[in-house]
Structure 1
């Protein structure tokens, strides 16, 4: 407590303040504010190492090096103030003398005694020429003790000497092994670690040529001092520079001695035994929902996952296998979480399509070649890689339609008969799909179906398409006023087809709005309205319009929610996976 350091006020300040301020509360505040936020360590008599550090509510004091301290206690500021008061009362808190400048030589001998003052023998013995001049006094004082240390440029304290000092460690017991462990295990900031490990202090150092010196350490770094015939020299290293030198010595295997290398594993094992075992945190592994998984939704009803898309998951009701259900990803995950029997099941992440991958480029090249050779299509639309139309035809009896499309995202080829899934094949990877299918596409092979199997199936039509067609039939069958002439609509041979997704969406909305207007009016559609109705393209490839999370489709999403009823909206969204547009060029080629 009585040792002066740079991390607190000087002893003289305490003596002066305690003398003028008798109140305990004033002394407490002064003592609290006098300590700085600096880790400080000292070597006492008997090489005992202690340290202290300012805290908000007191002074933290420990024994040993801070990182390996054997004991510590927190002294309240009142206890620190009382301890300093006791030291002052026992005359143990001393301040350095304030050395004042002595008068110059001329001033010392210029005084005059009174005339009646007695003369002493000293006056006769001291002659003016016996006084040493200033120049003689300078020559009598060794220059090495007179001048401050000279900053060395490596001429007297070489890099080799510096490396020897650094390789000697902090000077505290097992300090070198602690430094080695920290640097090899890469536990954090090396410079900060060295600052705490070395603390405040120093030791005598003997250089290789036998000359002595001093190695000091403080929060600023290492200071090497050497005294020789040329003078007193000093070389300083910041802790960052010291850390770099230690890293270099470790890399060159020059930091530990052979004896220390043998000692280190034994010491490390002892340190690890002292540390309490760490609890092993096992990350929770949740089951991932895949196609074929059985999930439990409302009221514990079981469903089988048939398809997991970007936006929707298609489910089959186990109690009614012929009924399918599409649920958006955002809606399905809370339903899975609400049912304990799902075991915390989570949906897989949406796969990202890399259009620039070699396999994707190869797949698109195969399909482009096929469409050009089969249908003379030179500008194939690859805007939606999940639905690429590969062909459309009708059976020989002209009773059924057949359509084939490719999904390059899920590496799947789907065949639909009368807008109902007839067959589907999924490949292990896009590479396998390229090798086994896309590299040898043939129209006849793609369109091949079993006629007998088709007849046995009960075709199901898209609910949305069925609803629209039912309304059209009802309108055509209704009694119409005589002033309206029924006209049969003939589609143009080469209609103008919207190319972009937003244009297709606009055509669909216009057709639905026109249909609702015709229904409300109760009269047949005019020729202009028939043109608009014929522009309806279906919702295949327009899944973004049903995704509330798509910022660039937000307006369209809100428009659909207002335009369609809840049942119409659900049916339209479900049709995004089963509705496909066939270009006129393909139809005419067939």
Structure 2
């Protein structure tokens, strides 16, 4: 069930004290905390101690019928209503606040009663005696009898040490011998045998604490210490994220989910991965916890095995659903685990590649001897092919919402389950029979088996797709088509009616070229480049504007209803960027050392950013996205060598970590797009473009976007915090509100932001996450308050539709381009060139090319009839024997043909077309 906090609910001070009185999750935690206070520790030292003592741990309490969850971590304490506290806390305290509360309770006699306090000194001496004993036995591998340590006799040794620790002279005797050990370790005379023991420095500080004069605080006769009632969702998530307990288990689980298996397969995998077993310490920071797993699921408990005080059973259906959600929301692997995962995948990828090369050397001769009759044909039987990273298995890709658990006594149900209702397994249907795929592979391979020449004649061109089979699609031959290069800095400047006429000329020319099924020549490209869209031309769509009546009618007659609708909607956010601004952005990127790679423009318009690309970057692969049909089609004629998709950015499926650079002027406004992967973040359109693009660029890659000043200046820091966790702000430039007036006819203050993607998420809040007031009392982003030189103009308060608002006024005393160049020149950074494998010689290194997103990562592809191997954002030539190269070509052909068959069946081609393709 889902918990809803009552409207009138509040968290009383008594509840907070009850939570803190329960201490941490480790044994005797409360006594250790109390001991430090009676030793007279300062607030600063207690904050450090409490942070370490609690670590990460969770607690669940039932208080007056209300479920209260608590989570402690490096930031302090979070309290939530229901079964979890981390996501939606109703109260948070940093460690300074926690320390103040506990100190007040100790001083006022509400933390510990007299009976428990009486045992504190004894247990402290016992704890320190244990640590000293194991330091000598396991660390130094010595048994100094002068302080009572005897080999093989722990009870007697512990008793002697405790007695010595009870008075000053005894403590001094122990101190002297530990200091001697510290000196020997420092000199290198001896080394610790085991590093898990406490250091001499730590032991000496503990002995000093025992020497401290004890403070006295009031102690009541009795005091209730509430025990936990349930295990929280935060603790369950922590346990699940630790994996199966088998080496690299978490990585295998992560990979399996990423491969897209269905629910039933995944549950079977999880049962096998976890097996039957268990152990202690199943929950974070809790010494009394344990976990067990078997065919029923995962059981988590706190307390003794015989009589646990909190427990929960997660059946495998619930485990699968929760893991799916954690992985999809990037909460499964910690930052440390992500680093280890990258190393793990690197080792795996190299092993896979070597395995496939070795296997291909012997694969075909072995297969020749295996003949079978399938569908009345004699063929070669293919049992298995591909690498661990590239297997051709087909199954439905089922995406369904992962659900939290709800705890009812010891049972776990899903939110859409009712207690007592039996679970119903989903039915799964294979879209294509496996034997059909196998038969097709066998037939293709049979045709390839004769000679290397025969194999080469059957290779499918990598640029072909199943769409070439469709009727009525005429794709012009690119021939000598070239990408347009912008040389006119006044591009797009003119009166509204001049812009309108250029748009009309461009649209008429577009339709003519498309009707002739060809690409544009250079003269035609010059006409097309004058198209500036409809930003600032809203009058042309208003039939009440008599001075625009002719243009209004012309536009209605020229465009289809759908094209007209999209053009009219774009009047608010189609802001075309001037060459001067684009050039300044490329100058920053060029100084960072970028030469070539994969470049994305996710909101490209007609592609001015591609047209302004410096000569030094011209070898890059260009990828663009444009929502508007007319604009996107013009872009394709201007940049025929670019891969341009005409759709919303939210509908693209580029792989993550693929692009080296993303650049552009993203749409901005107070509206959102539907993209389920980012739905929970509730991003406005401009913030969404930053979030998704950061996922698409590789670690170390740079995102350079123009955006509304709202991204940096909005009151809420949430979006900036999201970006800071994933990227480093290299620098920013605030543009005056006239920056787009000449080209787009609009006055809006905007920013150029340069972000560099981190290789892992971090919890960090740099200055630019928050706002400050400048000397004039204008509230804006801290970055611009502390770096006013990055504002190209002057910030002022002006009257807006919702009251006074800030804007950036142009400084007309100097040329805008000069000011822009200076601000951009202060932004620094380095874009690392991706390193090639050590075995690639210099000649092969030169032949490496940016990766094609249509080629699966860690797999082979043919480019100009040469074999390449894709690794992340580069494709590297493969140096193998001619025989192995021929076999790889054959395997690529099998893969392409099989995928083509799959695509045709998934897209509901007719039986005749499918059968025709099989025979080909």
Task: Calculate the TM-score normalised by the size of structure 1.
Answer: 0.25
Task: Calculate the TM-score normalised by the size of structure 2.
Answer: 0.18
